[in-house]
Structure 1
Amino acid sequence: MTIDAVIPTYKPDDTFYELIRRLLAQKCPLHRIIVMNTGEEFWDEERIAKVLDAAGVSEAMLEVHHLRPEEFDHGATRSAGIRYSSADAVLCMTHDAIPADRELTEHLLRALTQEPDIAAAYGRQLPAKDCRVIERYTRSFNYPEESRIKSEKDLPELGIKTYFCSNVCAVYRRDLWEKLGGFTQKTIFNEDMIFAAGAVKAGYRIAYAADARVIHSHNYTCMQQLHRNFDLGVSQADHPEIFGGVPSEGEGVKMVKKTADWLIHSGHAGLLPELVLQSGFKYLGYRLGKAYRALPEKAVMALTMNRNYWKE
């Protein structure tokens, strides 16, 4: 089975070039890397050529397509990248995630192909060295050590997490991706989860591959969390057919309680006020996003992370 990678970029930094180096060193090699770059002025052709040369591959291995900022969309841009590919499977990654080892593509493909009804498989996200304590635990909550295959029958147990999938690192079976309509063509956020939910509702399954590991974490401020969760709420409000019957607040409360318990029992009780503050900003952003249609335009533009999304 051939596999290509599709990576949207914006102002690619050292992490991106390390990502490319590690992708080129995978034991299960990629056929091609397709980069959807926003802002041609930020693209360093000379530097990427050096990375390819050091890996002993031709420049044809990496194909870049430049977009203007107003052209970027989380769903449409990735869909365009996938359609540039002719591979049997497509790996979607973000430019700030780094494979933890040389077996990433091998483990993802094994998870994807273990059963014919698996539409996608996503990897485990490990915290970076500079990751703060609370976020470090959150990673372990959302990305546990055990692999799992999820289907509609898991909804009573997992709730909204049944639909969870992350394009930070996820591989898609090309034929099923096409059959299910690909990613939604205009979405502020959550294109991966929207696709996964559609796949599950259509009778397919989603695999979580705990042995397919990438290093990826953020040290968001409270306001950054609010903006991010506002867009998350907007994406759910725009897709009631998926999220309407599966409320996500319960899963959020569960995570906060487990994090608080872990902080207390691991000697980090002093971080409880920070947890409460962060959680409050997350929840406020999420609720405002869910109710965005009732907000004035100025408020929406102040709350969103993605202002270009709102431009006609």
Structure 2
Amino acid sequence: MNQKTVDVIIPTLKPDVTFLHLIEKLNAQSYPIQNIIVINTEEKLFQIHEITNYNNVMVKHISLNEFDHGATRDMGARMSDADIIVFMTQDAMPDNDYLIESLVSCFDSKEIGAAYAKQLPTTDCKEIERFTRSFNYPENDSIKSQADISRLGIKTYFCSNVCAAYDKELYLSLGGFIRHTIFNEDMIYASKVIQSGRKIRYCSTAIVVHSHNYTNIQQLRRNFDLGVSQKDNEEIFIGLKSEDEGLRLVLQTAKHCIKIGKPWLVIDLFAKSGFKYIGYKLGLGYQKLPRWLILKLTMNKSYWK
């Protein structure tokens, strides 16, 4: 059987020397990468000229007005002729040399249409976010299908483009990523994979280092955009359990903070959770909000132009 070809697609904005390290790590992978396709926003902000040293790196520049979470990634996908397309963000770093090999192995089963990697926290990650990573990305692999919708609800469609791989043939047949979306293009596409009868695999041996220390306001704005994406695509998300999983995360995190002898973190946890919930609810009801307030709440102002 012929070895599957793989392309990696990475949208960038103001990439720095860390991005060069990412390219270096990708080219050191045990499984060969055919091309690394970089879709960069604003050519004048792209100062990583050393990238031309890599023969397999292709860079396409777009304007800020052209950027869209779904359309930009779809552009990269359609530039690829590989069997497997792997999407990453510029701030996700492979933890070892077997990231691509582990992701590709998931597609040994024809049932799998998508696979996503485990995310480990960065060294400066705060305790609550560190626990959230372990909650969302556990030690053991899992496979999700239509049969899990009643049990997992919206979590069935969880798949993160921080690092995720897709069967290219299936991707094209399902129409790819939504072309205009504020956020959540990965879960929207994942719903198509599940509804087509294929499955999504969480691959715990494919590991990237990636986390953020968001402020409460940043959490509110991020969850506002999440709510907007679900409202704009409610035919996908309507009727799916979502808030139950959020409550379970809060309770598990509170228990963890007490267990490690840091009960004062529970106050911060409840504050962050409150900001997340308010942002999410405002996003779901964005159509009732004045435009000036929407532009204050969103992380993606270009979406509203």
Aligned mate of 2:95, from 93, 100, 107: 100
Distance 1:290 1:18 in 2: 39
Distance 1:247 1:147 in 2: 22
Contact 2:15 2:48 (C-alpha < 8 Å) held by counterparts: no
TM-score normalized with structure 1 length: 0.95
Distance 2:257 2:17 in 1: 33
Contact 2:20 2:48 (C-alpha < 8 Å) held by counterparts: no
Number of the residue aligned with 2:58: 63
CA shift at 1:103, angstroms? 0.1
Number of the residue aligned with 1:6: 9
The residue correspondences of 1:111-122 to structure 2 (distance < 5 A) are 111=106, 113-122=107-116
Distance 2:276 2:72 in 1: 27
Distance 1:260 1:299 in 2: 32
CA shift at 1:114, angstroms? 2.9
Q: Secondary structure at the match of 2:70?
A: helix
Q: Secondary structure at the match of 1:269?
A: coil
Structure 1, residues 156-182: CA drift from partner, whole Å, max 9, x if none? 222211110000000000000011110
Structure 1, residues 114-139: CA drift from partner, whole Å, max 9, x if none? 32121110000000000000000000
Counterpart of 1:257, as a letter, is L
Q: Secondary structure at the match of 1:105?
A: helix
Number of the residue aligned with 2:156: 162
Contact 2:17 2:48 (C-alpha < 8 Å) held by counterparts: no
Q: Is residue 41 of structure 1 aligned with residue 44 of structure 2?
A: yes
Number of the residue aligned with 2:142: 148
Distance 2:174 2:263 in 1: 46
Aligned mate of 2:231, from 227, 231, 237: 237
Number of the residue aligned with 1:224: 218
CA shift at 1:45, angstroms? 4.5
Q: Is residue 250 of structure 1 aligned with residue 253 of structure 2?
A: no
Contact 1:182 1:195 (C-alpha < 8 Å) held by counterparts: yes
Gaps of 5+ in 2: none
The number of equivalent residue pairs is 302
CA shift at 1:242, angstroms? 1.0
CA shift at 1:20, angstroms? 0.8
CA shift at 1:266, angstroms? 1.3
Q: Secondary structure at the match of 1:209?
A: strand
Contact 1:35 1:62 (C-alpha < 8 Å) held by counterparts: yes
The residue correspondences of 1:1-312 to structure 2 (distance < 5 A) are 1-50=4-53, 52=54, 58=55, 61-111=56-106, 113-311=107-305
Distance 2:41 2:282 in 1: 28
CA shift at 1:42, angstroms? 1.4
Contact 1:74 1:189 (C-alpha < 8 Å) held by counterparts: yes
Contact 1:15 1:97 (C-alpha < 8 Å) held by counterparts: no
Counterpart of 2:211, as a letter, is S
CA shift at 1:80, angstroms? 0.4
Distance 1:45 1:13 in 2: 7
Counterpart of 1:105, as a letter, is I
Distance 1:4 1:46 in 2: 21
Gaps of 5+ in 1: 53-57
CA shift at 1:95, angstroms? 0.3
Number of the residue aligned with 1:55: none
Root mean square deviation of aligned Cα: 0.9
Contact 1:231 1:286 (C-alpha < 8 Å) held by counterparts: yes
Structure 1, residues 187-224: CA drift from partner, whole Å, max 9, x if none? 00000000001111121110100000000000000000
CA shift at 1:47, angstroms? 2.6
TM-score normalized with structure 2 length: 0.97
Contact 1:256 1:279 (C-alpha < 8 Å) held by counterparts: yes
Distance 2:20 2:281 in 1: 37
Distance 1:262 1:253 in 2: 14
Q: Secondary structure at the match of 2:119?
A: strand
Distance 2:229 2:16 in 1: 28
Identity among equivalent positions (%) equals 52
CA shift at 1:267, angstroms? 1.2
Distance 1:309 1:18 in 2: 31
Distance 1:156 1:16 in 2: 40
